[in-house]
Structure 1
Amino acid sequence: MKLTAEQLEHFHKEGYIFIPEAFTAEEIEVLREAAKDVFEPEREEIWREKSGVPRTAFACHTYNKACEILGKHPRLVEPVAQAFEEPVYMHQFKINAKAAFAGDVWQWHQDFVTWHNDDGMPEPRAMNIAVFLDDVLPINGPLMLVPRSHESGAIDAGHDTETTAYPLWTLDNDTVARLVEQGGIVAPTGKAGGLLMFHGNLVHGSAGNITPYPRKIVYLTLSAVSNAITKPTRAEYIAHTDFTPIEALPDDALVQYARSRSQEPAAATA
């Protein structure tokens, strides 16, 4: 999938683009089933809130077939490669979950600061591209973005290891207030299947979820191949060191996988 000239212009100016319902209901259903399977077992790659509910499942593309397919999907890989004008590799794959009633906050931050400080990423030539697995509503902790904040470059941040179960390089309130005064705040919402792509230096965060409506989003962090990390300090399942360019699969790969599964014979019962 290629972005239009207007979409590319919006991305470079505002720091993000949102494409509603970029994935079909059939595709989302197979990804929802995959997320259910991913979060069910206890694994070191699954990080939990302080309350015990799942927060993030890392690297599930390495052991779940639907996630593996999504990690090579042209609707995700091609727009990022187009923006960087070169092939991309997978820096990180994760599913972020905001559980009903218990999903915690993500503090205001820029992703590149973490990638640079913790992984040795040279330049902000990496970004997140995300797929909504649930309906993202104004009330269930949508991701909030500060438009045009990417133009400020990498901003000094403090390492917060206390607020949530996930250590993060976060911005102070005065900095966020200044950037919001300049660019405002947007919170892309929509049905499951929406696609969000945003610059590695775009300031963003999300509030907790105290509603009965869960909110799961798959994030692919894709980096230009020329921008490979140099000093990783985090586990391989968080910051990958395989810099092989991703070769995109056919656009209908998820649909074909879903239909092949539906044709599998049911398991015999005793």
Structure 2
Amino acid sequence: MKLTPQQIEFFNREGWLFLPELFSPEEVAYLAREAEGIYDANRPEVWREKSGAPRTAFAAHLYNEAFGALGAHPRMIEPIEQLFGEKVYMHQFKINAKAAFTGDVWQWHQDYGTWKRDDGMLEPRAMNIAIFLDEVMPINGPLMLVPKSQHAGDLKASHDLETTSYPLWTLDEATVTRLVKEGGIVAPTGKAGGMLMFHGNLVHGSSGNITPYPRKIVYLTLNAVSNYIRTPTRPEYIAHRDFTPIQTVEDDALLRLARAHRQAAE
């Protein structure tokens, strides 16, 4: 799968690109069921809100067949290799829950700031990919992006250890206000199966979810192989040390797994 020149131009200018319904309902339903099983597991990779609800599950591609196939899917890997002009490896893989009624906020931040400070990543040549496993609506805590904010570079941040159960390098209100005045805020929404990609320096965050509608999203960080991390401080299941270029699976690999799984259950 390749991006068009128009899509590349939009991404380079705005810092994000949304591809609706890239994965089929059958593929996404299979992934959503597998995600629920992962959230129920008692594993160190599964982090929970202060309420006890699941917040995020790291590295599922290493211990779950469905997410292993997703993490090597050509519909995600090929566009990023196209943009970077080189092979990529998996820097991070997580399934964010944003549970119904209790899903907590993600404060305003840039991801590259964390990758640089905590992992020793040299440049923002890592791409965020988000796959919607549920419908993302304006009401259930969609990801909010500040367009064009990636052009501001790596911004000063503070390490917030108090607001939520997950430590985050966050931006102050004055900085966010200035950038929003320049670029506005967008909140891409759509049916399950959509794919959002956004620059590592793009400012983003999300509000809490007090609706009955959960909002599961798989987030992958694909890093250019030449940009591998030098001084990781976080657990390996959060910041991976395997810099092997991803070898893509067949385009129908996830669909075949879903059908085999369904047949085995019948």
SS in 2 for 1:29: helix
Provide the residue aligned with 1:19 in structure 2.
19
Q: CA–CA distance in 2 between the matches of 1:178 and 1:262?
A: 50
Check if 1:53 corresponds to 2:53: yes
Provide the residue aligned with 2:188 in structure 1.
188
Q: Residues 61-82 of structure 1: CA distance to partner in whole angstroms, max 9, x if unpaired?
A: 1110000000000111111111
30-39 vs 194-203, which moves further: 30-39
Task: Using the TM superposition, give the Cα deviation of residue 262 of structure 1 relative to its aligned residue in structure 2, in angstroms.
Answer: 2.5
Q: CA–CA distance in 2 between the matches of 1:131 and 1:142?
A: 12
Provide the residue aligned with 1:34 in structure 2.
34
> What's the TM-score, normalizing by structure 2?
0.99
Letter in 1 for 2:179: L
SS in 2 for 1:197: strand
Unpaired stretches in structure 2, ≥5 consecutive residues:
none
How many residue pairs get matched?
A: 266
Q: CA–CA distance in 2 between the matches of 1:261 and 1:215?
A: 24
Provide the residue aligned with 2:178 in structure 1.
178
Q: CA–CA distance in 2 between the matches of 1:215 and 1:91?
A: 23
Provide the residue aligned with 1:227 in structure 2.
227
Letter in 2 for 1:219: Y
Provide the residue aligned with 1:74 in structure 2.
74
Provide the residue aligned with 1:242 in structure 2.
242
Q: CA–CA distance in 2 between the matches of 1:41 and 1:262?
A: 21
1:127-138 superposed matches below 5 A: 127-138=127-138
Provide the residue aligned with 2:83 in structure 1.
83
Q: CA–CA distance in 2 between the matches of 1:86 and 1:217?
A: 26
Q: Residues 4-39 of structure 1: CA distance to partner in whole angstroms, max 9, x if unpaired?
A: 111111111000000111110011011011101111
Task: Using the TM superposition, give the Cα deviation of residue 263 of structure 1 relative to its aligned residue in structure 2, in angstroms.
Answer: 2.7
Provide the residue aligned with 2:216 in structure 1.
216
**Aligned Cα root-mean-square deviation (Å):** 0.8
Provide the residue aligned with 1:103 in structure 2.
103
Unpaired stretches in structure 1, ≥5 consecutive residues:
none
Task: Using the TM superposition, give the Cα deviation of residue 265 of structure 1 relative to its aligned residue in structure 2, in angstroms.
Answer: 6.4
Deviating above 4 A after TM superposition, structure 1's stretches of 4 or more consecutive aligned residues are: none
SS in 2 for 1:231: coil
Q: CA–CA distance in 2 between the matches of 1:83 and 1:197?
A: 11
Q: CA–CA distance in 2 between the matches of 1:239 and 1:89?
A: 11
Percent identity, please: 67
Q: CA–CA distance in 2 between the matches of 1:188 and 1:265?
A: 35
